[in-house]
Amino acid sequence: MPDSSGATVFDDLPEWLVVDEILFRLPPRDILRCRAVRRSWRIGTSTDKFILDHHRRQPSLPIIKHREGICHLPVLSGASDVCSDKKIRPFVRYTPATIVDVIHHGACDGLLILSEQDDFYICNPTTRRCASLPHPPRRPGLSSVTVVAFYRHHTSGEHRVLWVVMSHATVEFESPDYFVLTVGSDKPRLVQWPIVSPAAESSTCPPVHHRGSLHWPMGLSITVFDTVAETFRQMSRPAQLGDNDMVALLDMGGALALSSTTLECVTLDVWVLQDYDAETWGFQYRINLRAIVAAPPLDLRLKYVPRMVAINERELLIQVGWRLLHCGIDGTFLGNVEIEEHENYLTLTKHRLQESMISLPLFEMQHEEEAVNNVPPFLIVL
């Protein structure tokens, strides 16, 4: 509040204290508004260190797809816990003509990669900036290009994408090619995928980031990509798992975890990697879908492979068919997750959004041209 002279209480405080102790604790969108108040606040909150440190404070929230856009769970203002209100709403809305064509490929540092048909985009929902994303060239004939992983190269600070280029010839099989391409560059670098099985597309099975590496469940082991050296290796999974068990990796409060279900699709076993270097897994708990007292009750007559992600160390989201449940790790039913729209056809993805104010040179380079020539098929409404 200003005093009789027109000065505010902020004028009596050191500038570093306002930036590092007050503005630093605000949500990203509030900081963006504060940048318009004072030039010193804009400068202080625009340094790489401030932006990265502030980004690390934000909650990492599971991303949920709806036929009209992309959603995440709401968060209480100024708190790290997810709001008890299970009503969600899209923060990215698809335009009416392109609802079924938009694909969500990846999330890293608050940035998203989306595509519509052959056009790829990278955007920051918090700052509402978006640009076209260059990708490796397709092969001659019938072929496709898509994202395998999206990550930050910590040594250089660059954001990079691991792409796969595949032929779809019906006569002779041709192995896919894998490329690493820095966001904004047009010079892809060929890398060797380490196993015979092709990589999963990030849109359906994104890797889990842990200890500077990306992790995919592949066959009876785990494929690991070191994002600094940009090399691959293999890691073992829990020895107790059966060959037919269906597994998925997840981030559980900063720990690398694995969920498994049998062909019956009624239980979810959760394991946590206790010693990364020794590759030692420890069993944590089992979720029995038959024992969940949901309202309305779950219909398990049809077999759906359940999907699960961790909200935090105590709470989970579990998808069974079209139902999206909020549960405790002990299987306690905490509520249904629904959207504010009339239809609740939600799909739980393995992607997570951790908001940031991170910008990219690509945003500045394409800002004027994009506004005229290449309008994205979605609206950012965060």
Per-residue pLDDT of the chain (382 residues), as tens digits, is 455 555 556 777 888 899 999 999 999 999 999 999 999 999 999 999 999 999 999 999 999 998 888 998 776 443 445 444 467 888 898 887 665 578 899 999 999 999 988 899 999 999 999 999 999 999 888 889 999 999 999 999 999 999 999 988 766 778 899 999 999 899 999 999 888 788 889 999 999 999 999 999 998 999 999 999 999 999 999 999 999 999 999 999 889 999 999 999 999 999 999 999 999 999 999 999 999 999 999 999 888 999 999 998 899 999 999 899 999 999 999 999 988 765 668 899 999 999 999 999 988 876 555 554 567 878 888 6
Using alpha carbons, list the distances in angstroms from residue 262 to 7, 99, 204, 221.
Answer: 67, 34, 20, 17
pTM of this prediction exceeds 0.85: yes
Burial zone of 183 (CB within 10 Å; 0-12 exposed, 13-18 middle, 19+ buried): buried
Amino acid at 26: L
Contact indicator for 268, 283 with CB cutoff of 8 Å? no
Q: What is the pLDDT of residue 341?
A: 66
Q: What is the pLDDT of residue 98?
A: 62
CA-based nearest residue to 202, from 260, 253, 163? 163
Q: What is the pLDDT of residue 200?
A: 87
**367: part of which helix (H) or strand (E)?**
helix 361-373
Q: What is the pLDDT of residue 364?
A: 82
CA-based nearest residue to 351, from 104, 75, 99, 146? 104
Contact indicator for 281, 275 with CB cutoff of 8 Å? no
Q: What is the pLDDT of residue 168?
A: 81
CA-based nearest residue to 258, from 232, 233, 284, 277? 284
Q: What is the pLDDT of residue 73?
A: 78
CA atoms within 13 A on the CB side of 354: 16
